[in-house]
Amino acid sequence: MVYRMGELFCGPGGLAWGALNADIGDWNTRIVHAWANDIDNLTCQTYRHNICKDDYADSVICQDVRELEISRGNLSDIDAFSFGFPCNDFSIVGEQKGFDGSYGALYTYGVEVLRTFQPQWFLAENVSGLSSANEGFAFKKVLADLISAGYKVFPHMYKFEEYGVPQARHRIIIVGIRDDLPCDFRPPSTTPYKDVDISVRTALNNPPIDDMAFNHEIPFMSDKVVERLRYIKPGQNAFNADMPEDMRLNVKGAKISQIYKRLEPDKPAYTVTGSGGGGTHMYHYEEDRALTNRERARLQTFPDDYEFFGTREKVRRQIGMAVPCRGAKIIFEAVLRTMEGIDYESVPCNIKI
């Protein structure tokens, strides 16, 4: 079957790339783009250019989801649905406001899509902090609402570095299958990827990035930042490196930090984020500079011909908020095999409901 997929909070297309490239060896079983929505114009430009090109430009709706008309008259029918609902208020980095924040309740628009269109399956993604926000109530509420929309849910904490992604990125992904369908989802096994080289060195250099690659501009570094980086060894940051007093940051209470932290060449990267101010750009393990956006995109497993639109800062945010393309592809392939009744190597869900 060909599954037409709709998407809310689509971002630059990490989930969509994984979905459209999912391949289980049968061209008759695949996922195709139906429509997508995001609030940010430049992000939508990136998505259109890479995912659906000009032929489907109108199918990418740039609009606040709170103003989007979720109806059969406004959006086409779908067989599948994905939504990486905004994670700002669930992240363990920050205040973790949960439902009390500006973004916490936006998942309900995804639930509305499920109730309206009743697709056969869905995939929802959020940060690991979702499970503990509002003392665990937020996660239980999200799952209850998805179940009440008519779905069996299969939540799992994925460690993407275990799936061949060169980055320690941990995310909760909930796969849902409509109640009337006789199949249950199991997360794909990590065993096939245990020998994959996920080192930063390999990710950034094999193959070498072309000097003319999209979004590969070397960021400006002030003289003081360059000097500070010279004292920081791979794996160290501005607080645990041995450096002169005048190079240290005047910040109290910092114990474990990614501020001016260099990557370690023989390990996967730490988590790529959308931030970049105050020394959080991610720093090269050898060169005295922050990573380029193309390098950050490599850590997120975007192909080198994937072009992002916007200023360097806006592109950095798009990349940091995305789901790793190749990790998403592996999960979507497991979903397709589940729906088609094809056996595959799997593991039990590690989150109980």
Query: Which residue is it, tokens 């072009």?
Result: 307
Sign of the four-CA dihedral 139, 142, 147, 148: positive
Q: Which residues pair with 8 in a beta bridge?
A: 83
Q: Which of 69, 156, 71 is nearest to 347 (CA)?
A: 156
Q: How far apart are CA 84 and CA 94, in angstroms?
A: 19
Strand, helix or coil at 153? strand
Dihedrals φ, ψ of 30, to 5°? Answer: -160, 175
Q: Which residue has the tokens 């199949």?
A: 183
CA 120, 122, 124 angle in degrees (round to 5)?
170
Q: Report whether 110 contacts 154 (CB < 8 A).
A: no
Taking the C-alpha atoms of residue 146 and residue 156, their distance in angstroms, rounded to an integer, is 15
Q: Using the 8-state DSSP alphabet, how is residue 324 labeled? A: P
What CA–CA distance (Å, rounded) separates 260 from 231?
11
Q: Which of 10, 52, 87, 325 is catalytic?
A: 87
CA distance 46 to 41: 9
**Half-sphere exposure of residue 312, counting CA atoms within 13 Å on the CB side?**
14
Burial class for 203, CB neighbours closer than 10 Å (0-12, 13-18, 19+): buried
**87 catalytic residue (yes or no):** yes
Pairing of strands 80-83, 151-159: unpaired
Torsions phi, psi for 153 (to 5 deg): -115, 145
- Which DSSP string do the residues of 223-262 spell out, in sequence order? HHHHHHHTTPPTT--TTTS---GGGS---SS-SS--TTPB
* CA–CA dist 221, 130 (Å, integer): 35
- Catalytic site residues? 87
